[in-house]
Structure 1
Amino acid sequence: MSIFFLSLFLFATSLYVSCTNLTAYDVVQKYKLPRGILPEGVIDYDLNHKTGFFKVYFNNTCRFPIEGYKVKYQPIVSGFIKNGRISRLMGVSVKLLYFWLSIGEVTSDGQELELSVGAASEEFSVHHFDRSPQCGCGFYCRELKFSF
């Protein structure tokens, strides 16, 4: 009987360890959002599983172009995450004309990703976010390297 409890304990411990070893990119995908909504360079994250409140940490501010827009991630990004949605997002902004506007919400229906800035929003195919952008060059790093 004690072998059964020992086996159960070891299984539960390994399950806990595997859950805590998830990267921020894994967590985003677990919540049915594409990994590419986070740029490369996440150094750590915090997540409250009960409330969905999260913080993602970067070493520096990260800026890159995406689909004709300029996007900026602050060193700390936070918000509330649940399946297919991030609300009350803080620390991510997009440049429209001469102004930086905060992206407040991200939603996904599995095919489209909608980024909301106040009352305005823009939809993109989730396939554009299959991979994470890199600071400086976004999704177009290879094209930029070969164009010099």
Structure 2
Amino acid sequence: MKRRPDKSLADFLRQERGSAAVEFAIVIPVFLVCIMALFQVGFGVYAHSTISRLAEDGLRHLLFQPDDESGARDAIFAAMSHTALDPAQLTISMQNQTEPYDHIELRLDYLFQVLGPFPLPERVPLHAVAMVPLAGD
């Protein structure tokens, strides 16, 4: 007995063998990209909190020795050597400010490099600003 061609096509479309493999092939790339993005966001948060802590380390040095900017830089880079961040991506600037009060403003700028196939900029700038008041005359 011969089957009709339209009947075999309908039977073929109703078969569910291999549907789990096809669904897995569709879902797994999206899942992996989400996991990689989660790791990148986590490392970005780590980098930002580390930059903030480094600014506080430099500020602590300036609190006791306000004229020693090179010592503050050395303290920042010494603390940075114990982290996973790249010191070449860090920029440190210190300025004496008079408004609204006399203080030293310490600013750290870090270029965080995003890895992976994400629609983000190649480098994300991170900033940390810390201020120490200067003693009045």
| TM-score, normalization by structure 2 | 0.29
Q: So what's the TM-score if we normalise by structure 1?
A: 0.28
Which structure carries more helix by proportion? Answer: 2
Instruction: Judging by fraction of residues, say which structure has more strand.
Output: 1
Larger Rg: 2
